[in-house]
Structure 1
Amino acid sequence: MTLALPRRALLGAAALMPLGAAAQTARRAWPDRPIRFLQGFAAGGATDIIARLLAPAMAAELGQPVVVENRPGAGGTLAAEALARASKDGTTLMLINNGFAVSAALYRRLPYDPVTDVDPVSLVCSVGLVLLAGPASAPDAVADFTDLVRRAKAQPERLNVATVGVGSTQHLVAEAVQAAGGFRMTHVAYRGTPAALIGLRNAEVQAVVEPISAVLGQIRGGEARALAVTSRERSPLLPDVPTVAELLGQPDFDIQTWYAVAAPMGTPEDILVRLDEVTRAAVAVPDVRTRLIELGVSPRSLGSRAEVRAMVREEIERWRRVVASANIEQQ
């Protein structure tokens, strides 16, 4: 026999529901509508490709569409501002990368606080950068990393290093490598990777800094030579190329481009827990994992959300030190 309780009694029972049960109910309710997945760069770039790989796998876990929304401009800060101002209900997320930390160091004022407005939740993948030289047959070509350092120390700023722009991640990485090695080159900014590689081929510059994934084809095709990678460990994609850490005898030198899923700060804890689970599950999908590796990035996670948050804050401080030591004018 089933007893029908009065409506008032049912409301009272709900009010007395244990907090844990209430949290589980809230967790099951999220998400109840499609999720916006922001990314701050143009379509077709690495961040866009990775976001679009993750989105369907996350949607399959969540039972709601995850829609990638491109908001390019100002080094990703337009998208980060939109995230910071979004509702704290888990329906707006963002794929941030190390450019988020670089912007925090480079801009005097941002329309959001990168530490208190944005909450990095789950690390997705990372990739080292590579210092390139032109073919050995090119005029003024350096023999290897040691030769580059020797020549740059002998004649400071005579050699040129190219990146995709002043204040770009590549620019700051080039500055960090020079600071670690105690040598100086002249920075030359190009509009995009293809233009920088043409400058290398034409001997306008002697070195280029780029993420491995962006120039792997040129390295394998012999159009450029990899002198050193910036990650602490050698890249599985370039196992014969030494690390800057090895070459300089500085085992702690480790710079990588990373990608992480973030939410607005203040998003409920149960949603953040679920988001971390969903992101890890998406990266573990065999097709997603294989495609990430084919793109030249390494799937990667950290033990907890606190570690991800701490990593991003440490990255911000690292790049602030580089901007200050290299006398790069803040924008």
Structure 2
Amino acid sequence: MRKIATVSLGLAVAAVTTLAAATASAQAWPDRPVRMMVGFGAGGGTDIIARIIAQPLSEILGQPVVVENKAGAGGTIAADAVAKSAKDGHTIFMMNNGHAVSASLYKSLPYDSQTSFAPVSLVATMPLLITAGNDVAVKDAKGLIELVKAQPGKVRFASVGVGSTQHFAGLIFRSIAGLEMRHIPYRGTPAAIAAVRGGEVELLFEVAAPVIGQIKGGELKALAVTSAQRFPALPDVPTIAEAGLKGYDVTTWYGLAFPADTPAAIVTKMNAAVKTALAKPEVRKQVEDAYFLPATSTPAEFGTHIGSEIKRWADVAKDAGVTQQ
């Protein structure tokens, strides 16, 4: 009995010591710059919202929050880097719903899209736009569908890369409308926009933030918005559902997550920092001026959201007959 009691006491002491160490670590966190990993190139929607939120987080946390772009494979390269990083709160992932899409698009990934991450909070949402160069002779999604049907296999659509939300939105549009379009991936939004403006491709599926300025400036034209409702910043642009594709709804979201097993106290502290940042009027204005809709959540709520999105896109991919890569 004495031996068992001694062992039990030893385990209890070890548990208390571990908890005390974790608490002390969380209280000291962050003690150096925090890397915010973005899975897409500079200038895209994910990069824009990451840079907007990084500045106030730096001020709140007392350490620089540095945005690091690690583009490629629909954001999965950055996701893998974060999943495998130290679980000390100094590497965080700015994910978007392409993270959930990738779980359905790829046959295998080097991480689990849900369990390899510790959700922190939603940050913002935004619809996508179907845009075209001014030399494309259509003005809305209905006209686009007619054009593609008249030229099967000839119309090309660009995205920021295979496996991205933009790519998947194009695949779903193509499948539901029964169209033959070719996908041309680019490494980042600036290259994809240049391709559309230069006539290399006819269409671009992209989140609103990086293209809305060029749409308002007349360099590109918006054919449709991908959300269920019209976008307040472009109220005259119809939805894809209005073109006859009932039920089409693709709205991208952005949120932060640490690698799994990051101490809960650090997750809680970062969640509070995100909420504090987005509660600042000047930060909310900056977010909204960039055409994002601010959004926050608890870590548990964000985790549930990620899980539901993974299931949703798996169901959509199956119904649309999307082939895994």
TM range (shorter): 0.7 to 0.9
Q: Determine whether 1:36 maps to 2:37.
A: no
Q: State the secondary structure of the residue aligned to 1:240.
A: coil
Q: Determine whether 1:224 maps to 2:206.
A: no
Q: Determine whether 1:207 maps to 2:206.
A: no
> 2-side partners of 1:186 and 1:220: how far apart?
26
> 2-side partners of 1:160 and 1:25: how far apart?
54
Paired position in structure 2 for 1:74 = 73
Of stretches 261-270 and 191-200 in structure 1, the one that deviates more from structure 2 is 191-200
Q: State the secondary structure of the residue aligned to 2:307.
A: helix
| Aligned partner letter, 1:263 | F
Distance 1:183 1:32, change over 3 A: closer
Tell me the TM-score normalized by structure 2. Answer: 0.79
| Aligned partner letter, 1:146 | K
| Aligned partner letter, 2:145 | V
Paired position in structure 2 for 1:170 = 166
Distance 1:193 1:267, change over 3 A: closer
Distance 1:32 1:217, change over 3 A: closer
Q: Determine whether 1:279 maps to 2:274.
A: yes
RMSD: 3.4
Paired position in structure 1 for 2:289 = 294
> 1-side partners of 2:314 and 2:302: how far apart?
19
Q: What whole-Å deviation, never above 9, does each CA across 1:235-265 have from its counterpart, x for those lacking one?
A: 2221221222344373x54312221110122
- Alpha-carbon offset, residue 267 of structure 1: 2.5
| Aligned partner letter, 2:97 | N
Where in structure 2 are the equivalents of 1:57-136 lying within 5 Å?
57-135=56-134
Q: Greater Rg, structure 1 or structure 2?
A: 1
Of stretches 278-287 and 142-151 in structure 1, the one that deviates more from structure 2 is 142-151
> 1-side partners of 2:61 and 2:189: how far apart?
37
Q: State the secondary structure of the residue aligned to 2:308.
A: helix
Q: Determine whether 1:239 maps to 2:235.
A: yes
2:127/2:226 contact within 8 Å kept: yes
- Alpha-carbon offset, residue 309 of structure 1: 1.4
- Between the two proteins, the alignment pairs up a number of residues equal to 308
> 1-side partners of 2:181 and 2:60: how far apart?
49
Q: State the secondary structure of the residue aligned to 2:95.
A: strand
Distance 1:295 1:33, change over 3 A: same
Distance 1:24 1:82, change over 3 A: closer
- Unaligned stretches of 5+ residues in structure 1: 1-14
Paired position in structure 2 for 1:186 = 181
Q: State the secondary structure of the residue aligned to 2:205.
A: strand
> 2-side partners of 1:234 and 1:301: how far apart?
22
Paired position in structure 2 for 1:312 = 306
Q: What whole-Å deviation, never above 9, does each CA across 1:129-180 have from its counterpart, x for those lacking one?
A: 1112343xx3x61242222234445665454433344433222101222334
| Aligned partner letter, 2:81 | A
> 2-side partners of 1:94 and 1:149: how far apart?
37
Distance 1:310 1:254, change over 3 A: farther
Q: Determine whether 1:146 maps to 2:142.
A: yes
Distance 1:68 1:158, change over 3 A: closer
- Alpha-carbon offset, residue 82 of structure 1: 2.8
Q: State the secondary structure of the residue aligned to 1:213.
A: coil
Distance 1:249 1:322, change over 3 A: closer
1:23/1:270 contact within 8 Å kept: no
Of stretches 195-204 and 43-52 in structure 1, the one that deviates more from structure 2 is 195-204
- Unaligned stretches of 5+ residues in structure 2: 1-12
2:159/2:184 contact within 8 Å kept: yes
Percentage identity across paired residues of the two chains = 43
Q: State the secondary structure of the residue aligned to 2:211.
A: helix
1:164/1:196 contact within 8 Å kept: yes
2:41/2:189 contact within 8 Å kept: no
- Alpha-carbon offset, residue 229 of structure 1: 0.6
Tell me the TM-score normalized by structure 1. Answer: 0.78
| Aligned partner letter, 1:269 | A
